[in-house]
Amino acid sequence: MASRQGFLCTVGVCCLLGFFCNSALSFVLRGNNDRPIIGILAQETDFKSFQKFGSSYIGASYVKFLESAGARVVPIRLNRSDEEYDKIFNSVNGILYPGGSVDLKTSEFARVSKIFYSKALKANDRGDYFPVWGTCLGHQLLSVLTSGEDLLTWTNTDGFALPLNFTQDTKGGRMFQDFPDDLLQVMASEPVTSNFHFWSLSVQNFTNNKRLSKFYKILTTNVHNNVEFISTMEAYRYPIYGVQWHPEKNQFEWKNSAGIPHSRSAIKVGFYTADFLVNEARKSDHHFSSKKEETNALIYNFSPVYTGLFSCFDQAYFFD
């Protein structure tokens, strides 16, 4: 097995798992909440096959992804009042923006995401730890929320499993610090990340936009259709993270596609990614005002529908 130092030299990030920057260390030293609850933002049912079940949905794989690492989930539904969103924000320990295909500026998904993004920035600025995570469309959404622009480029990276190209900035990053040496080596050399996206945030557009380049560091990139795009990023000053790939699919989606790897290593990628996010949520001390409010808010109050015969999700939760 390659040493940690040997692996990092191979991928060009020789200091990746050495000593982390002071800001990263301060995150690690925070207290623990052993009953974390993470909100997942629903989005409009743009698929015709979904519309008969409800006006909004959450793919069940995102719920299982968080539950697999010891978190519970609250669905954040659309078209609710500002007062309700404020109450939810103060009750959950983080938020996940999932993948999908709705408009990044005009959808209700985009509108509500901006509300929670703004609340998260203000909370973290006053020392109230609150992580924000974006997967695929959610990752792209973070770039729009931060820059105020849609800077995406067509890459047609739909149904591809890829290795990750680690960058020099990974050395001061938080996301991969607890991943095992051998797994990081696999992630840099084997196709273990699932990609289902037509658009991507190119490194060029990122670099040319000062709002993005000052706010986020690039942890990994990929290249497809001659475009180098950002596949993993995290904010410098905030616990805000984006992945263009789908860590939840490896474990919990079974569409017959080469883009969803199910190898032992691919499953580990999903687990360690979930473990990182849930541990970030453990650093938040938000909580519901009563046990009854908590119980009524949990996703356990809804039943998933088997949708594997007519969609990319094996199961989904529907609302409204």
pLDDT value at 235 more than 70? yes
CA dihedral 54, 56, 62, 66 (to 10 degrees): -100
Q: What is the pLDDT of residue 184?
A: 95
Percentage of the chain lying above the pLDDT 90 cut: 87
Contact status, residue 101 vs residue 287, Cβ threshold 8 Å: no
Model confidence band, residue 274 (pLDDT cutoffs 50, 70, 90): very high
Q: Annotated active-site positions, please?
A: 136, 246
Q: What is the pLDDT of residue 172?
A: 83
**Residues 6 or more apart in contact with residue 319 via CB below 8 angstroms:** 42, 54, 55, 56, 57, 58, 75, 77, 78, 302
Model confidence band, residue 30 (pLDDT cutoffs 50, 70, 90): low
CA pair distance 82, 78, nearest whole angstrom: 11
284-291 average pLDDT score? 97
CA pair distance 270, 235, nearest whole angstrom: 21
Model confidence band, residue 173 (pLDDT cutoffs 50, 70, 90): very high
What average pLDDT does the structure give for the chain? 91
Model confidence band, residue 6 (pLDDT cutoffs 50, 70, 90): very low
pLDDT value at 7 more than 60? no
Percentage of the chain lying above the pLDDT 70 cut: 90
Q: What is the pLDDT of residue 47?
A: 77
Q: Which of 1-10, 46-55, 174-183 has the lowest mean pLDDT?
A: 1-10
CA pair distance 320, 190, nearest whole angstrom: 41
CA dihedral 147, 117, 138, 226 (to 10 degrees): 20
Q: What is the pLDDT of residue 46?
A: 79
Give domain limits for the chain: 34-319
pLDDT value at 289 more than 60? yes
pLDDT value at 25 more than 60? no
pLDDT value at 11 more than 80? no
pTM for this prediction? 0.90
According to the CATH classification, is domain 34-319 in 3.40.50.880? yes
CA pair distance 66, 278, nearest whole angstrom: 7
Q: What is the pLDDT of residue 292?
A: 98
pLDDT value at 8 more than 70? no
Q: Which of 47-63 are b and which e, b meaning 16 or more Cβ less than 10 Å from the residue's Cβ?
A: beebeebbbbbbbbbbb
29-41 average pLDDT score? 86
243-265 average pLDDT score? 97
**Residues 6 or more apart in contact with residue 106 via CB below 8 angstroms:** none
Q: What is the pLDDT of residue 169?
A: 87
DSSP assignment, residue 19? P
pLDDT value at 271 more than 90? yes
pLDDT value at 97 more than 60? yes
